């Protein structure tokens, strides 16, 4: 069972039988204000399976199409509603050209890849430093980062 939160302004939601954060209610209202076909839906804790790691979703219910989920959200993602809204705004094809949206997505992917490559480069440099030290030392054992190494 999913429940739409777009019109709830209470902290306690008796339909759900649990407390709902004001931030979640505000996000639901902003989504509906931004695009009336959007709503924030939620799987209450009592109705969840163990596999439900993303109990939140943004539902689009346009008049000329079947309703569909735009994005599933975890509780952690719901702690950052501004990021969720930014994702909606950035990907809105009614306001941005598809090429621009794709270019932004590609830039984000490249930035993440660059950060991962830099991390790998630093880890390799650490390994090389350790190998150089091991090759130069005349000790049979030494410690590095809490681990004991033996030659």
What DSSP string runs through 27-81? HHHHHHHH-TTEEEEE--GGG--TT-S--EEEEE--TTS--EEEEEE-HHHHT-H
Both 26 and 92 in one domain: the answer is yes
Whole-number pLDDT of residue 136: 80
Listed residues 54, 71, 96: the one ending a domain: 96
Give the other-Cβ count within 10 Å of 127's Cβ: 10
pLDDT score of 14 = 55
Q: For residues 88 and 122, state if they share a domain.
A: no
Per-residue pLDDT of the chain (151 residues; tens, 9 = 90+): 455 554 444 455 556 556 667 788 888 899 999 999 999 988 877 777 777 788 889 999 999 999 999 999 998 998 888 999 988 888 777 777 888 878 888 988 999 999 999 999 999 998 888 888 777 877 777 777 788 877 6
Residues 81 and 126 in one domain: no
Which pLDDT does position 17 carry in this prediction? 59
Q: What is the pLDDT of residue 3?
A: 52
Indicate if 118 and 72 belong to the same structural domain. no
User: What is the span of the domain harbouring residue 59?
Assistant: 3-96
Separation in Å, CA 81 to CA 36, 48, 117: 18, 22, 29
Question: Closest Cα to residue 54, out of 39, 40, 67?
Answer: 40
pLDDT for the residue 10: 42
Query: Does one domain contain both 89 and 115?
Result: no
Indicate whether 81 and 13 sit together in one domain. yes
Residues 88 and 143 in one domain: no
Where among 96, 113, 129 does a domain terminate? 96
Q: Are 85 and 113 part of one and the same domain?
A: no
How many domains are contained in the chain?
2
Residues 87 and 13 in one domain: yes
């Amino acid at each position: 069972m999913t429940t739409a939160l777009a019109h709830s302004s209470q902290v306690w939601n008796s339909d759900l039988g649990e407390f709902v954060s004001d931030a979640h209610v505000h996000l639901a209202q902003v989504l509906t204000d931004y695009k009336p076909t959007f709503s924030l839906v939620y799987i209450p804790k009592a109705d969840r399976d163990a596999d439900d790691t993303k109990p939140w979703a943004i539902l689009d219910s346009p008049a000329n199409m079947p309703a569909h989920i735009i994005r599933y959200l975890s509780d952690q993602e719901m702690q950052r509603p501004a990021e969720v809204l930014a994702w909606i705004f950035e990907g809105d094809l009614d306001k941005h050209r598809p090429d621009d949206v794709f270019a932004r997505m590609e830039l984000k992917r490249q930035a993440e890849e660059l950060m991962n490559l830099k991390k790998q480069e630093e880890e390799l440099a650490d390994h090389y430093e350790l190998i150089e030290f091991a090759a130069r030392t005349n000790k049979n054992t030494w410690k590095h980062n809490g681990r004991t190494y033996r030659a």
